[in-house]
Each structure stands twice: as structure tokens, then as C-alpha cells.
Amino acid sequence: MNKIAVAGVGYVGLVTGVCLAEKGQQVICVDTDSQKISQLNQGTPTIYEPGLQALLHKNITANRLTFTTMAKEAYIDADVIFICVGTPEQADGSANLNYVYQVATTIAQYAKENALIVIKSTVPIGTNEKLKEFFRAMGLGFEVASNPEFLAQGSAIRDTLAGHRIVLGVESERAERLLKSVYAAFEQPFVVTDLASAEMVKYAANDFLALKISFVNDIANLCERVGANIEDVTKGIGYDPRIGDQFLQAGIGYGGSCFPKDTKALHWLAEEEGYILRTVKAAIDVNEKQKYKLLQLAKQEIDTFRGKKVAVLGLTFKPETDDLRESPALPNIQMLLAEGAEIRAYDPEGIERARVVLGDGIRFVNSAKEALEQAEICFIFTDWAEMKALTPNDFITEMRRPLIFDGRNCFDMDVMRAVPEIRYVSIGRPKTGVARSADMIL
């Protein structure tokens, strides 16, 4: 059993700490946010993530997992220190590494000489080398390693405990042995490489997935013009093992804390090296336009939103998370508000965070059906199971005259097409319902 310190209790740090404790390591997590630390020590997660609360409580009870605001307490006996702090996007698209170096400064004060410092945060290629130089300038010889995370919100516990690989960027056999001992109970293949390659793996993985999403959305937009159905197209190409069937869901683009930030960071880094990543730039451009796709479709049907009662289903950037970062729902809601819409919004987990971002301009409700009550228009931004469980009759019963704009293709097109009372518009598929004549436009 190793003594592990985890710096940062955000999504990555908290999930990493809990999962390492679950696999038998002795883990202490440190953060400067005393409110979060107090909450976590009581066994209450600070984020919504399926399966997290049970594992958090289990490992605190087993005395394998503790939380503190005291850096000295966390680092002084640690064999391995994982840096899991945020690297937010700056105005020029580059990653802000201030939090990484703040943690490194504290590590330098308290960690023992043979502690292995591991960057798990997503950082630009070359950051581990710069961190080594940072320590050397202070007269310290800490060994540094790269161990990028590949978790996705909504499946973070599963992604960590039963992922597809563990990437280790190391410079010595000792570092490799130590990290392999940390992950000994994880039944995943190791990819052992150098520091720069490990850093690049993370960016390449995220940017490739973002590319795949943007490609499908681009094809979906063309499908609308030529009368093809993106659902059938993606099914047809998804059977090809060279392509695969994941990340082929057409919609209103990607969001969250990773894809938007990481695509821009890698594109910025390439430009700094005198190279243009044209494919990544295309993914960014397509996604930026795609997040407003639903509103563009709505404006083809609706003259004005002023005074219209609008139901918004879904606020988070994806289901099974409470994360609103880069969610397509937010800028669309702000545009609807600016145009005078009266909005009732629902999300199973994102409402409390949305209150902070959106303020009192909209009414938050307790269920999808409550959001639909007397609504003239419905926008679906997130494909939560609760939204997908709605039936045509729910829309007919609750709404005045169902006009639905589905940004995640939650419903079977043929089922919606069979209901004449519903006007249903989705992404990359033929529109359903009787075409509206000029005098029917809202």
C-alpha cells in the first residue's frame, strides 16, 4: 500500500482519490476550499457523479480516504503526489497553469525528497519538463511523471476503475515501478512512454473525439439539405470497425470542461510551434456554430419569441452530471431571454448551478412535465433519461400546441411523425408534422 496525496478535489481529483482508495491505497486529498473539504469529510460529494457517494462513504469509513486543507499534512509522508487541479482556458486559447505551479510551490515546502510528483491534470506538451526545471531552480530534485486521466462526467467512476488503459509518462524505472504499484489492482493495460508523449496522448484522444462529433454534426446538417436521415447514416457507418459506433450522435455539439478547452489549447500550442492543426480548427468552428443550431431551426418556424412560453428541458452539457461548463443550453437560454421569451426550465441535477449562472430571469421547475405546462415551444438541450421517457401524449396533454425542437434526437422520428398534433424538429432528420403555412407561423 502506498501513501497517496491528491491535490485538488474537483472532478478529476475527487474521483481519482476515491477510486485509488477503493483499490486499497491510503489516500489524502487536499484543497484550499474549506467548505468543500468539510462537506467531503462528512461523506457528501461536492459534485454529482453516479456511484460516487457510495464509494466516498465506504472508503472514509474504512479509513483509507481523508480530506484536508493542510498541505503539510497531505504531502509530508506521501510517496506519490497527484496534481489534479484545473487548467482553465485563457483568452487566447492557451491553458492557464497558475494552479499547477501554486500546488508545486506548496509541494516544494513539505514533500519528502523521494516523493514522485505526478501531473494528472491536462497540461500542454512540455509542462512536465518545465515543472522539473521549476523544482531544480529551487534546489529540489523531485522526479516528475505524467499520468493523464480519461474519465468522462457521468461515467467517471467506471472510466477510472475499469478504463481501457493507463498511460504513464516516466523517465526512470523507479517511477514506472512506483506508479505500476499504485495501479496494481486496476486490471488495465499500461502504456509506458516519455513525458511529452503521455501529455500528447491526452490531447490527441480528446481532440479526436471532438473531431468525430463535429464531423457527424456537419454530415447531419448536409442530411437536412438532401433529405437523408443522419440516424441511418451513422448506423450504416458505425458497423465499420474502422469507424466504430461511439461518438456518432448528431446534436447541438459538445460542451463540458474538456473538449472545448482541449481543442483550443492544442490548436494554440500548434500555432506556437508554427503549425496549423486544420482538422482541430475545423472541429472548433463546426462546434461553435452547431450549439446555436436549434435556435436557428426555431427561427425558421417562429417570427418572434417575445411573450412566448418556452419549456427548456436540460441544462447540463450532457446527462448524468451537474456540470454546466460550455453547455449549449446556456447561450441559447440567454438569447431567448434577450428576445423576450418566458422560460420554464428543468434539469434533474443542474438547477442549483444554473441559478448561479442564469439568475432569476427564468423559472426553474421540478419535473419535465411541469416545464411543459401550457408551453408553446419546447427546446430539448440534454438527453437525460427522464426527457427520453416522455411520450407524445405528454407533450399533447401539457403543451398548448406542441412545437418541439429536439437538440439531441431523443425520440423516434416515426413515432413523432405519426402524431398530427405535434410539430417535431430534430437534427439531421426530416421534419415531422404537417408543414406550417404562412398564417400558422407563431
Encode pLDDT of 356-368 as tens digits: 999 888 999 999 9
Q: Which residue do the cell numbers 461548463 mark?
A: 325
Which residue stretches of the chain have pLDDT < 70? 432-442
Q: Which residues contact 311 (CB under 8 A, 6 or more apart)?
A: 343, 344, 345, 346, 371, 372, 375, 377, 378, 379, 399
Report how far Cα 81 is from the mean position of its chain's Cα atoms: 24
Which of 29, 223, 258, 378 is an active site residue?
A: 258
pLDDT at 403: 96
Which residues are documented as binding site for NAD(+)? 31, 36, 87, 122, 261, 325
258 counts as catalytic: yes
User: What domains can you pick out in the chain, each with its CATH number?
Assistant: 3-193 (3.40.50.720), 202-290 (1.10.1040.10), 293-440 (3.40.50.720)
DSSP 362-416: SEE-SSHHHHHTT-SEEEE-S--HHHHT--HHHHHHHSSS-EEEETT--S-HHHH
Residue-wise pLDDT tens digits, 412-438: 999 998 999 999 999 999 876 543 433
Given this model, what pLDDT does residue 222 score? 97
Q: What is the pLDDT of residue 360?
A: 84
Which residue ranges make up the annotated binding site for substrate? 202, 247-251, 255, 318
Tens digit of each residue's pLDDT (9 = 90 or more) over 23-45 = 999 999 999 999 999 999 999 99
DSSP state of 84: -
pLDDT of residue 442: 47
Place of cell 454534426: 217
Straight-line distance from the first to the last Cα atom of the chain, in angstroms, rounded to the nearest whole number: 66
pLDDT, position 433:
52
As annotated, the binding site includes 31, 36, 87, 122, 202, 247-251, 255, 261, 318, 325
Give the total residue count for the chain. Answer: 442
Half-sphere exposure of 271 (CA within 13 A, CB side): 12
